[in-house]
Structure 1
Amino acid sequence: MESSNFNPSLLRFLQSSPTPFHATQSMKSRLLEAGFLELREDDNWVIDEGGRYFVSRNDSSLIAFTTPTLDFFNTGWRMIGAHTDSPCFKLKPNAQVTRHGHHQLGVEVYGGVLLHTWLDRDLSMAGRATFKTESGDIKSRLIDFKKAIATIPNLAIHLNRGVNTDGFAVNPQEEILPILCDATNEFELKRVIQQQLEAEHDGLNISAILDFELSMYDAQAPAIVGLHDEYICSARLDNLLSCFVGMEALIASDYERPSLLICTDHEEVGSLSTCGANGPFLEDVLRRLSPNPEHYVRAIQNSMLISADNAHALHPNYASKHDKLHAPSINQGAVIKVNNNQRYATNSETSAVYKDLAEQEGYDVQTFVVRSDMACGSTIGPITSGEIGVPTLDIGLPTFGMHSIRETAGSKDAYGLYKVLSRFTKRATLIDR
């Protein structure tokens, strides 16, 4: 993809992906457009040499791969990993709440949300709904209201005089219920969901809404901002930014080396699920491709995974939060993440491979190590490495405001990572042993 088209395409992807379900749907559409074939886990697979394939699980996780050869045990895989989920508010099963003249929604905090950033924002709602048809079948469809339908107003400073000096702790049970409308209007949540499904999908013949997995999201569109267009500002940059970069890198590969993209759900809550990195999804796919146990182990040990997840950029207003020798800057290149306590899976060899690739493409590389007096986050890197034993690098694009409703990254960094990852998919030898 040309650099002039990259960020506009990224913004469109972010806009069309308000939930992991929609992100996976967006990736499916792009992969089909690029000539990939969709597989189903409950079907028999016939994998051809020279093929391009993808498979999804739970509608929220996806693995795409290329098979220029079926000799995986000698070639290994060039793997890129990311995650489809982001911190947000998810509706509770009994979400309909009416208080003091307003209809509201009861929500549960998903992941490490910066709660106060969700106040005074235009919110919409999207996700997956499951229903029974008039013929008795049970089906699921995605749903996206798209327009702003709710807000969580702040408390006026006149009623909270100490907010600017004493801080503001948000109570997630009582103070983050989105307001939908006033109580003079009729509101029945399942009826509203059914109406929206019928508006988005023709011919559903719904007899009853059985259940739903819906999330609130920021209705403001992604944007390029800055006096000289230096920044990308959007919801869900962590980690849809990496999903998009990895997907486009796979599509741009020369299809001469077996390459694989894995984008999994539930990273923000530990990855332990059927479709998370701490579940069996990746191993299930790889063992179907290499059913011989000896060949499977050889394939893994000839492989490498680059786990791409956003990194903390040096914030000019909070510089003391960084180790000054490991403080990455926005628009200065991707960030290798290192933690000797194995919160990141980077080692000297996987780091060296990336540095060599970046040098060949002419891009800078930065390094992040958390301050020794602060706790370190983690990624799917150590989880995947620990699950299947693949050598792994943790890397990310420097970001401000991680886990805010609206995050900020550099407008130059994503394309640079895309170019380096594209070269990675073509790499013949990883480490000469």
Structure 2
Amino acid sequence: MSIIPPKEATNFIEFVNNSPSPFHAVEEARVRLSAAGYKEICERESWNNVLELNGKYYFTRNRSTIVAFAIGRKYKTGNGISIVGAHTDSPCLKLKPISKKEKVGYLQIGVETYGGGIWHTWFDRDLSVAGRAIVDDDGKLISKLVRIRQPILRVPTLAIHLERDVNSAGFKFNNENHLCPLIATVTKDLTKPGKSEKDDDTGNPFIVKHQPILIEVLAKELDVRVDQIRDLELCLYDTQPSTIGGVYNEFIFSARLDNLMMSYTALTALINSTSDPDSLSNEHNIRMIALFDNEEVGSTSAHGANSSLLETTIRRLVFSNIRGNIQETTSHTIFEETVHKSFFISADMGHAVHPNYFEKHEENHRPEMHKGVVIKVNSSQRYATTAATTIVLREVAEKRNIPLQEFVVRADTPCGSTIGPMISANLGIRTIDVGNPQLSMHSIREVAGTDDVGHAINLFKTFFEEFHEIDQRVIVD
């Protein structure tokens, strides 16, 4: 039996396999945007007379957050902005600033936990590192992506013979003591070809802070000398590639589905909505995606959703001189008028009903794979969804018969949150929280449905293309 999975799902697999860190995810987005005719601009420079009607642009911050937008040909100052937001980061282990460790004949690296991962799933996996290095390039300090594809790290579990009650008492461990990957044995390190007693006395601070063999591997991958590496920001990742699975090729088995799937679908929807030369000819709004870093740790960073990034971006668009734009008003409230004509979709993965734990879901709110994007609701405002924002998205979905589902947590269960509430609170913008259903959220290997990639792309593309018209007849504040 051979069933061909949807092309949207296979394209997503390529995206997520190329994105082992937020820096790589942003670079992958940059490549796709550039290929689609989007021009890179810089926050450090003026946008006056740079932007123009019918233009397509993007910029990055910290190389781990990216914002892209397309300006409608009929855009005028004060019109709205149609925005889909997601995040590029996922729970992982990160290299400590001083990571060099050695215990009972093993060389290890020190890591810290990032986000709320299911950390027991990181044991007995083939791990490696990816992220960025700050490199001295003839006196200039530049950021370079780095990824080691070889599985060089592993966190081994303790044999059942040494902990007989592990199955009955549960797998318990200490994050600091037991979640420490090994990279080599002292024996092999001492006898490696070319090993010298002076290897640890080069004057490079990274030889002191990190395992010399790790720095050597990174330097080789970067094609630089060891002494050119000045700093590192590395995530650990599972080297097993994402793949399509299930007897009907209906599942995506992958790391980082939360939240690279929603980042990918938002990115693809924006590109698809602007691919035709005439696609912006009747557009009155600006179409935008904002893919933030640091959501998994609260978003409070210079490049997180709880920063001023989105506000300052909108202000610059409102007050920049956009070529071809007839500025019909000099109102001092033009920014606020723009915000209240705008709409923000917070896109973050949701919880599919679990066949082995279905009682964990509220009985009337059990999202299933392949049945559409989930609208997430919480009366305590852990999600920003309201009736007024739900009706807008329903109108969008009905335009092209796109399926939607609904989710609330059980009354006896705490609810997670997203970038939606903080964006809506900080800006006062109409916001709805949505996401594709998945299993095993925050595990090192997660599961989602292949059809839902296409559902999300279609929903967001329709939103970009139809929101301005729908907003004219939905008079709900």
TM-score relative to the length of structure 2: 0.86
Deviates more, 1:5-14 or 1:338-347: 5-14
> Could you tell me how far apart the structure 2 residues matched to 1:89 and 1:201 are?
22
Name the residue aligned to 2:203: none
Name the residue aligned to 1:238: 258
AA matched with 1:415: G
AA matched with 2:351: H
> Could you tell me how far apart the structure 1 residues matched to 2:98 and 2:222 are?
25
Equivalent positions of 1:46-195 (< 5 A) are 46-69=50-73, 71-133=75-137, 135-186=138-189, 189=210, 191-192=212-213, 195=216
Name the residue aligned to 1:32: 34
Residue 371 to residue 42, structure 1, CA distance change in 2 (3 Å) = same
**1:132·1:206 contact (CA, 8 Å) conserved in 2?**
no
- 2:340 maps to 1:301: yes
> Could you tell me how far apart the structure 2 residues matched to 1:129 and 1:190 are?
15
Deviates more, 1:185-194 or 1:144-153: 185-194
Tell me the alpha carbon deviations over residues 318-377 of structure 1, each in whole angstroms, 9 at most, x when there is no partner: 111110111111111110000111100011121112122222222221111011111100
Name the residue aligned to 2:382: 343
Alignment partner of 1:279 out of 307, 315, 326: 307
- Any idea what SS the aligned residue of 1:399 has? strand
Name the residue aligned to 2:249: 229
> Could you tell me how far apart the structure 2 residues matched to 1:139 and 1:184 are?
36
AA matched with 2:307: G
Name the residue aligned to 1:212: 232
> Could you tell me how far apart the structure 1 residues matched to 2:470 and 2:396 are?
10
- Any idea what SS the aligned residue of 2:101 has? strand
> Could you tell me how far apart the structure 1 residues matched to 2:214 and 2:146 are?
8
Cα offset for 1:277?
Answer: 0.2
Cα offset for 1:430?
Answer: 3.8
- Any idea what SS the aligned residue of 1:377 has? coil
Tell me the alpha carbon deviations over residues 31-67 of structure 1, each in whole angstroms, 9 at most, x when there is no partner: 0000000011112221111100000000100000001
Structure 2 stretches of 5 or more lacking a match? 191-206, 274-278, 320-329
**1:72·1:290 contact (CA, 8 Å) conserved in 2?**
no
Compare CA radii of gyration and give the structure with the larger one: 2
**1:401·1:408 contact (CA, 8 Å) conserved in 2?**
yes
- 2:465 maps to 1:429: no
- Any idea what SS the aligned residue of 2:95 has? strand
Q: Percent identity?
A: 40
Name the residue aligned to 2:13: 11
AA matched with 1:242: M
> Could you tell me how far apart the structure 2 residues matched to 1:258 and 1:49 are?
10
> Could you tell me how far apart the structure 2 residues matched to 1:205 and 1:170 are?
38
Tell me the alpha carbon deviations over residues 231-257 of structure 1, each in whole angstroms, 9 at most, x when there is no partner: 111000000000100000001113334
Cα offset for 1:128?
Answer: 1.1
> Could you tell me how far apart the structure 1 residues matched to 2:252 and 2:7 are?
14
Residue 200 to residue 284, structure 1, CA distance change in 2 (3 Å) = farther
- Any idea what SS the aligned residue of 1:54 has? strand
- 2:5 maps to 1:21: no
Alignment partner of 1:44 out of 35, 43, 46: 46
Deviates more, 1:358-367 or 1:148-157: 358-367
> Could you tell me how far apart the structure 2 residues matched to 1:34 and 1:346 are?
32
**2:373·2:434 contact (CA, 8 Å) conserved in 1?**
yes
- Any idea what SS the aligned residue of 2:382 has? coil
**1:141·1:197 contact (CA, 8 Å) conserved in 2?**
no
> Could you tell me how far apart the structure 2 residues matched to 1:40 and 1:13 are?
24
> Could you tell me how far apart the structure 1 residues matched to 2:365 and 2:354 are?
13
Name the residue aligned to 1:403: 442
Residue 201 to residue 106, structure 1, CA distance change in 2 (3 Å) = closer
Residue 191 to residue 105, structure 1, CA distance change in 2 (3 Å) = closer
- Any idea what SS the aligned residue of 2:345 has? strand
Name the residue aligned to 2:432: 393
Equivalent positions of 1:240-259 (< 5 A) are 240-253=260-273, 254-255=279-280, 256=283, 257-259=285-287
Cα offset for 1:208?
Answer: 3.7
- Any idea what SS the aligned residue of 2:59 has? strand
Cα offset for 1:197?
Answer: 4.9
AA matched with 1:42: R
**2:148·2:218 contact (CA, 8 Å) conserved in 1?**
no
- Any idea what SS the aligned residue of 1:382 has? helix
TM-score relative to the length of structure 1: 0.95
Structure 1 stretches of 5 or more lacking a match? none
AA matched with 2:262: S
- Any idea what SS the aligned residue of 1:62 has? strand
> Could you tell me how far apart the structure 1 residues matched to 2:459 and 2:432 are?
13
- 2:412 maps to 1:373: yes
Residue 40 to residue 193, structure 1, CA distance change in 2 (3 Å) = farther
AA matched with 1:370: V
> Could you tell me how far apart the structure 2 residues matched to 1:151 and 1:38 are?
39
Aligned length in residues: 429
- Any idea what SS the aligned residue of 1:22 has? helix
Deviates more, 1:273-282 or 1:137-146: 137-146
RMSD: 1.8
Deviates more, 1:252-261 or 1:303-312: 252-261
**1:73·1:298 contact (CA, 8 Å) conserved in 2?**
no
- Any idea what SS the aligned residue of 1:374 has? coil
**1:115·1:170 contact (CA, 8 Å) conserved in 2?**
no
Deviates more, 1:187-196 or 1:3-12: 187-196
AA matched with 2:148: F
Tell me the alpha carbon deviations over residues 279-299 of structure 1, each in whole angstroms, 9 at most, x when there is no partner: 011112111111275221111
